[in-house]
Amino acid sequence: MNPLARDLVETLKTLGTLPTVYSKVNQLVNDPNCPAAKLGDCISNDQATTSMILRLVNSALYGYPTYIDTVTKAVTIVGFKQTRDLVLASSVIDMFGKDGDAGGIDYRGFWKHSIATAVCSKIIASHMKKCDQEAMFTAGLLHDIGRLISFEMSDKLPIQELLDQAKGTETLLYKNERKMLGFTHMDLAEALFCKWNLPPLLKEAAVYHHVPALAPRFKQEACCIHISDAITHALRMGSSGDPYVPEISQEAWENLEIPMSKLPGIINSLKEQYPDLIKLFFSED
């Protein structure tokens, strides 16, 4: 772990721990004897999380033919670990907020890019062998969270210089981060995810999304986020602050073991589902 990134994350007291609802849900999910009703009741005690979970499972993302009206039903259909991942996604968005403008980045644009990457990752995962679609959705949603951290600390970090340097050299932000800061937004994400004790799959998929070949255990998952990130940038679905579209690694695509003929269908599904998810996440505004 990068020590500079670790020390910086340690100064962020507001991000020290995840919300109580996630901690309780995680504890129940790790109990092999926990019934779905108990997990559902736990989530139902948190109104915001309940609302988000029900809106998600009733969205185009899942496409269930009948309306799911309780969290317990959602747990039964989606699965314990998958529900936990959705609770995590909802919790993190609530922690950072959906509106704001820190370090020159528009929060709405940031979350629109993150949501698009999450949707695309889940769609791609549905074409992969033995890949957890909900975990990939959450990993896609959180893949640039380190960038949000760095932009929120624009009073301490030369964010505008980073943006100017990236534009001037026509390079991706993470390459300039390494040169100017000594760490990248992926390093910040790794430090935060370790502090939160998140599952290794989520950590690796997000931490290595720019360099998936370096992922030690979950290379396919990192490749999935890598490709989804590039696709959503190319389609201009929101903005993570990066001025350029990341280049897709041919090796990463081959690692997914998905025929190239599937790509147009993946993009069409993304275009169909993305607007529905944007309305879902910003529906209370």
* CA angle (92 as vertex; 91, 97 as ends), nearest 5: 100
Residues 68, 77 contacting (CB under 8 angstroms): yes
Mean per-residue pLDDT for 10-29? Answer: 83
Per-residue pLDDT tens over the stretch 193-205: 988 888 899 889 8
Tokens of 125: 């995962």
- pLDDT-based confidence at 248, cuts 50/70/90? confident
Residues 91, 22 contacting (CB under 8 angstroms): yes
CATH superfamily, domain at 3-16+98-281 = Hypothetical protein af1432 (1.10.3210.10)
Calculated CA dihedral for residues 267, 86, 47, 93, nearest 10 degrees: -70
H helix or E strand, kind and range, residue 101: strand 101-102
- pLDDT-based confidence at 263, cuts 50/70/90? very high
Higher-pLDDT residue of 107, 262: 262
Domain coordinates in residue numbering, the chain: 3-16+98-281
- pLDDT-based confidence at 285, cuts 50/70/90? very low
Higher-pLDDT residue of 107, 232: 232
Q: Are β-strands 105-106 and 101-102 bridged in parallel, bridged antiparallel, or unpaired?
A: antiparallel
Q: What is the pTM assigned to this prediction?
A: 0.88
